[in-house]
């Protein structure tokens, strides 16, 4: 908003001032695909355009998580669901941190965030379904599937 004095000055030199007719939508609005009961997220330190969502915080600090981070070749941001007032919604996290890829470990975890099928994207980020961390620890086929998803979605540089 500009003062009356500024408005008078602009009018005197022939500059028209435009204003918005309606307020913009709040940044915390849910995506159409995101569940109304979706939990908030706690984000760990990291950088880059990849957000990895695991079921609990201890999974993000495991040896497997360290191996996954090294395979990705950068420091991805790990996150997990929390029920706290300071938690950030997934769509807001994507917008605020400019994530280009969101990878969710396990179908059960994905169902907590989305109603029905996992959409192909959320705002500006591609959504990737990965095997759960428990499956990755115990099943060789799950690890192959993980690597195939990393390559298919361009999450790793194969050079």
Q: For position 74, which CATH number holds?
A: 3.40.470.10
CB atoms within 10 A of CB 80: 21
Q: Is residue 65 part of a domain?
A: yes
Q: Is residue 71 part of a domain?
A: yes
Q: What is the pLDDT of residue 36?
A: 58
Q: What is the pLDDT of residue 30?
A: 42
- Please give the helix or strand (H or E) that residue 74 lies within, else none: none
Question: pLDDT at residue 35 above 80?
Answer: no
Q: What is the pLDDT of residue 99?
A: 84
- pLDDT per residue as tens digits for the range 76-99: 889 999 988 888 888 888 888 888
Query: For residues 102 and 40, what is the distance between their CA atoms, to the nearest angstrom?
Result: 15
Strand-pairing partners, residue 42, are: 80
Where is average pLDDT lowest: 41-45, 130-134, 140-144, 154-158? 154-158
Q: What is the pLDDT of residue 63?
A: 92
Most confident of 29-38, 73-82, 125-134: 125-134
**CA-to-CA separations, 118 to 47, 69, 107, 132, in angstroms, rounded:** 24, 23, 9, 15
- Give the residue numbers spanning the domain of 45: 36-152
Q: What is the pLDDT of residue 135?
A: 93
Q: How confident is the model at residue 22 (pLDDT cuts 50, 70, 90)?
A: low
Report whether 91 contacts 34 (CB < 8 A): yes
Question: pLDDT at residue 21 above 80?
Answer: no
Q: What is the mean pLDDT of residues 109-117?
A: 83
Report whether 51 contacts 125 (CB < 8 A): yes
Q: How confident is the model at residue 64 (pLDDT cuts 50, 70, 90)?
A: very high
Higher pLDDT, 45 or 23: 45
Q: How many domains does the chain have?
A: 1
Q: Is residue 22 part of a domain?
A: no
């Amino acid at each position: 908003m500009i003062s009356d004095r500024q408005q008078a000055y602009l009018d005197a030199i022939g500059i028209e001032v435009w204003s918005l007719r309606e307020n913009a939508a709040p940044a915390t609005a849910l995506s159409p695909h995101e569940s109304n009961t979706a939990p908030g997220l706690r984000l760990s330190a990291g950088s880059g355009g990849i957000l990895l969502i695991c079921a609990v915080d201890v999974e993000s600090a495991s040896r497997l998580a360290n191996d996954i981070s090294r395979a990705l070749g950068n420091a991805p941001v790990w996150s997990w669901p929390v029920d706290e007032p300071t938690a950030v919604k997934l769509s807001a996290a994507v917008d605020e941190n400019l994530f280009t890829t969101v990878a969710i470990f396990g179908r059960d975890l994905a169902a907590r965030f989305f109603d029905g099928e996992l959409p192909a994207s959320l705002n500006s980020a591609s959504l990737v379904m990965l095997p759960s961390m428990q499956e990755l620890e115990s099943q060789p086929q799950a690890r192959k599937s993980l690597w195939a998803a990393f390559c298919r979605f361009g999450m790793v540089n194969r050079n």
